[in-house]
Amino acid sequence: MQDEKTIVIDINLTRGLVVLLALALLVAALLGYLAWGQRDAAASGSQAPLDHAQAKPLAASSGLRGYYLTQSTYQGNETLTACASGYHFASLWEILDPSNLKYDTDLGMVRDDSGQGPPSYVEGWVRTGYYSSTSSTPGYGN
């Protein structure tokens, strides 16, 4: 008769290792969702605060939402009437990342070297989502 050999593998999982494995699985699931999940374009803008933005799709061929910086200046109490039809006063979070947006050069302010994008170094109003504040700190003052 042949001798049978038994191999025993003893895995000793500590609580920390189990937590680490669970976190790794959650991160993998989140990355999979972000990579393959369907998401709408988020509104965004340049590093300098911009005045007014989107809601209005530009040319149907581009499929991108549009935003622009008003050519005229407005007081804070005039902001709700300053935007062109189909546009609204932007939230900071709508224009934080302009990669999924198209700047509307027909309506918006442009400079000699603007190209198809917004002008740089222009101050303006943007909704911050913060409490009413007279702070001059970017992201808080409104």
pLDDT of residue 59: 44
Per the domain annotation, does 71 fall within a domain?
yes
Distance CA 56, CA 58 (A): 6
pLDDT tens track for 129-142: 788 888 888 777 76
Per the domain annotation, does 49 fall within a domain?
yes
**Full residue range of the structural domain in which residue 129 is found:** 41-142
**Three-state helix/strand/coil letters over 61-108:** CCCCEEEECCCCCCCHHHHHHCCCCCCEECEHHHCCCHHHEEECCCCC
pLDDT band, residue 51 (cuts 50/70/90) = very low
Per the domain annotation, does 11 fall within a domain?
no
In 3D space, the residue among 112, 141, 111, 107 whose CA is nearest the CA of residue 124 turns out to be 141
pLDDT band, residue 39 (cuts 50/70/90) = low
When divided into structural domains, the chain yields a total of 1
Neighbours of 114 (CB within 10 A): 14
Per the domain annotation, does 96 fall within a domain?
yes
Per the domain annotation, does 7 fall within a domain?
no
Per the domain annotation, does 12 fall within a domain?
no
